[in-house]
Structure 1
C-alpha cells in the first residue's frame, strides 16, 4: 500500500461498503474492543518519535515537548481511560418504568451504530484524529478516518500506524484534499464527526444531510479570558500565555482575546511581555516556539496585523519582529503580537484568530465585560480568572460557552470525565471519555413486559370499569 496516495472517489465508496459489510458480519464484542485498544496503545507508544518527526516536518518546526504533551500524552490517557471504564460504560443500565407500568422492567443498552466517519484537522493532527477514534472503537464501531491534507506527513504516518494495528475492514484512512473531504462527508455514515472551522462545519453538515447522518461538530470561535480585579496579574498573564501561545496560538480552545480591568490593563501588557521573554527569548533560536502551518495561514494572520496598523491601533511585539514579513524568508515564524484596545470592526475581533496574535481590551465593570462577550457568537471555551465565586458565577450565568476552565486555560480539554464540545457556532455534540463512547453508540431503550400487564385490560370497548380506570390514570 502506498501510504501517501490520495484516495479516489471509487475507493471511498468501496472502502465504506467493506467497513459496513465487515461490521454487519461480526460486530466487535467487548473483548475484541479491549484487544484493539491495547494494540493501538502499544503501537502508538512505540511510534511517538516518528509521530514527533512527522508533525515537526509538517509545521516546519513545532516544539517537541508540545507534541509530547498535546498529542502523545492525551492520546495515551484517553486509551487508558477507555480501557479502565469500558465494561461499565457498555453495561445495560436499569431504567425506572413508573408505577403505571409495574411490574414491567426497562433498561438502556449502549449498542454500536455501525461505521463512524472522522474528519480531523491539521492543528493537532494526531490528538484530534485518534481521540475520537478511541471512543468509536470502544463503542464497537468500525471507523473511516480522513485526516487533513495540510499535514501530509502526519496523515501518512496515521495511515501506516492504523494499518499496522487494524484490519483494513475495521479501520481505514482516506487521504486527499478538499474534494476528497467533500466526498467523504457525503458517504452514508452511521455517525460523522468533524473538527475544524465553523465555515467548513456548515458544509460538512450540509453534505451529511441527504443521508440524515448524525453529526458531531467540534468547531471554534473567539474564546475569551476575563481577568477580574481580585486575581493576581502576573499569575493571570502566565496562565493566559500558555493558553495563547502553545502551538503558536493554532488551538481551537486557545485564548482568542483578553478582557482585563481598566486600572490594570497596562500592568497586564507588561506582565505578558515579561512572560514571553522568559519563555522564548530569541524566538528564531527557540526550540519551543512553533511555526505557522502554511503560507495561506501566515498571510491571513499577517493581514490581521496589517489591518490593526492601518486602523492606528497600538500593536506590540514583545519579542521583536520576525526576520521578514514574508513567510518564505521567516520560515513562517510569526512573533507573539499584542493588539491593544481593538474596536469591534478590527479584523482581529471579527474572526477567530487561530494564531499568535492577542487582542487586549479593558473594561470598567464586569457587566461591561460580559456584554462585550455576549455581542460575539457563543465561544467554544471561556476562561474566567477570579478567586471570588460571585464574580465567576456572574460570568458563567451571563455566557454560554462550550466549556470552561476557571483560573487557568485549556485544562478542561484533558479531563476525561468532562464532555468536550461546543454549542451553536462553536459546535454540536460532545466527545471524550464516556461522552465520546455514548456519542458513537445508540442508547437503545428496551422495555420488557411482565407476564401480567395492565395493557391486557385497557382496550375497547372503553366502558364501565375500563372507562373509570383510564380516567383515574389520566388524572
Structure 2
C-alpha cells in the first residue's frame, strides 16, 4: 500500500524507550492491558459476542458522524463510497464473526498416527493476548476495525493507532470507543508523533500494520526486537491484464470503477493496464469515455473524492509531468493545476498512454486517479512484465479464453485475484486478504482473521491403554520390536 499512509515519524529511528509524557502514558496503558490479559486470558463466547456487539454499536449509532469526519479529513469524501466500502463491510465482518464464532472457538479434532494409538489429538484456539493495530488513512473506518474484529473474536485485547492524516476520524473513534469499552478491552490512541514513534516498539503479542512497503520494513524491524509476529498489509503496483479475448467495453467500465473508487486511493486499485498492442488506443478511448460517464468533468461532483493532502496532490502532479516530459500521451479532462480542480483538491482522472519503465509513474505505487496503459505483443510478454516486478497485492485479468486465464493464474503470484472485474476479491469474507513478498505477509478476514490472532495449541491426550511406556529405558528386546513397528507405520 505504497503511500497509503504517512506515519512520517516511523520513517525515523523507532525508539524502544518511552521518553515523552504521551509515550509514557501509552506504555502504562499497554502494560495495564497486558496484565489484565494475563489474568483473564480466555474470554468466553458470551463476552466476545458482547464486545463485537458493542463494536457494531460504535459504528451503527454514529454512521453520519463518521461520514462527516472522514469527509472533513479528505476535503471531500463521497458518502456512498464511505457507506459501501467502509460501513457496510464492517457490519458484514461483525455479523459473519458473530454467526460463526462458536464453531471457530471449538477444539478441532486432529488425526492421530497409528503408532501412537490409543490416543487423541486436539487443536485448541487460544487468544494471543494484546494486539496492536497501526491503521491507514485511505479507508480509515474499515481498515481500522476489520483487523480489530478478528482480534476481538479471537479473544484478544486491542490497541489502535489511527493515522495522523485523519484527525477528525481518529478523534471521533477515540471518543466513541472510550464510551463503549473499558480501556483494558479496546483502546484508541491519539495521533501524536510521539505515540507513532513508540507504538511499533511495544512488545505486543501480534502487530498489524497497513501502509507502505518502505514503512512496513521499519515496523517489522521494530517488532522483531521483541519477536512480535506481524501482519503487514502493504501494496505495490497491481496490474490489470486485458487478454485478446476480452470485451474491451466491459473491461474499460470495470477498470474505470476499480481505479477511481476513492479517487484511486485504494491499495488494491489497478496500478497499470497491459493491453494487446493492436487494441491499445481503442481501449484507452473506451476507458476515458467510461471515466467521464461515471464522474463527468465537474470537480464539484459529489461522487468524486478529493486527494487526502496537498502533498499527495503535488506528488501526483509530478508523476504526470514526468510522464509527459518523457513522451507519454496524457488523456485527462483538465490539467491538475486548473484552479477549479485544485480548489477542491480533486485530481482529474488521468490516463498515461504508452507509459515506459523509465517513467516515475511505473516505478512507484501511484495511489491516485492516474492510470498508465501499456501495450504488449504476446500473452507471455504480459506475464513476464508482471513477474519482473515485486509481487503485487492484487492482479486483475479480463477475457473469455480460459486457457489464457489459467496460464496467468499459474505463472504469476499475487496477494489476490479478481477475474473480469476489480477489487471484489477483497470483499469475499470467506477468503483471506493478504499480500505476498513486498506486498505484505499474513492475512485476515472472517475465519482467517480469527486464526491469525489465535494460537492453535496442539494437545495430545494419551490413553491409559497406550504402550508408549515401552519406549522408556532400560532398553531391551521390546524396544527393537516397537522400533520395527514404528518404521513399518511411518
Q: Per the shorter chain, which TM-score range?
A: over 0.9
Q: Which moved more, 1:305-314 or 1:248-257?
A: 305-314
Number of residue equivalences: 468
Corresponding position: 1:414 with 2:432: no
Separation in structure 2 between the aligned mates of residue 29 and residue 19 of structure 1, nearest angstrom: 18
Q: Which moved more, 1:451-460 or 1:141-150?
A: 451-460
Separation in structure 2 between the aligned mates of residue 321 and residue 338 of structure 1, nearest angstrom: 12
2:58 aligns with one of 21, 43, 65: 43
- CA RMSD of the aligned region, Å? 1.5
Shift of 1:225: 0.5
1:122-162 Cα distance to aligned partner (Å, 9 max, x none)? 00011000011111110000000001000000111111121
2:223 aligns with one of 208, 226, 231: 208
Q: Is the 8 Å Cα contact of residues 182 and 204 (structure 1) preserved in structure 2? A: no
2:335 is aligned to 321
Unaligned 5+ segments in structure 2 are: 1-19
Separation in structure 1 between the aligned mates of residue 178 and residue 353 of structure 2, nearest angstrom: 49
Shift of 1:180: 2.0
1:140 is aligned to 155
Separation in structure 2 between the aligned mates of residue 465 and residue 227 of structure 1, nearest angstrom: 67
Shift of 1:310: 1.6
Q: Is the 8 Å Cα contact of residues 276 and 375 (structure 2) preserved in structure 1? A: yes
- The alignment partner of 1:172 has SS state of strand
Shift of 1:322: 4.1
Corresponding position: 1:18 with 2:32: yes
Corresponding position: 1:231 with 2:246: yes
Q: Is the 8 Å Cα contact of residues 380 and 426 (structure 1) preserved in structure 2? A: yes
Shift of 1:43: 3.1
Q: Which moved more, 1:47-56 or 1:157-166?
A: 157-166
Separation in structure 1 between the aligned mates of residue 349 and residue 93 of structure 2, nearest angstrom: 31
Q: Which moved more, 1:275-284 or 1:21-30?
A: 21-30
Structure 1 residues 428 and 404: alpha-carbon distance in aligned structure 2, compared to 1, 3 A threshold: same
1:306 is aligned to 321
1:438 is aligned to 451
Corresponding position: 1:448 with 2:461: yes
1:107-134 Cα distance to aligned partner (Å, 9 max, x none)? 0011001000000000001100001111
Q: Is the 8 Å Cα contact of residues 23 and 194 (structure 2) preserved in structure 1? A: no
Q: Is the 8 Å Cα contact of residues 292 and 355 (structure 1) preserved in structure 2? A: yes
Separation in structure 2 between the aligned mates of residue 119 and residue 129 of structure 1, nearest angstrom: 8
Give runs of aligned pairs for residues 233-272 of structure 1, distance below 5 A: 233-272=248-287
Corresponding position: 1:188 with 2:203: yes
Separation in structure 2 between the aligned mates of residue 383 and residue 454 of structure 1, nearest angstrom: 56
1:127 is aligned to 142
Q: Which moved more, 1:193-202 or 1:270-279?
A: 270-279
Structure 1 residues 32 and 190: alpha-carbon distance in aligned structure 2, compared to 1, 3 A threshold: same
- The alignment partner of 1:354 has SS state of coil
TM-score (norm 2): 0.93
2:7 is aligned to none
Shift of 1:213: 0.3
TM-score (norm 1): 0.96
Q: Which moved more, 1:147-156 or 1:160-169?
A: 160-169
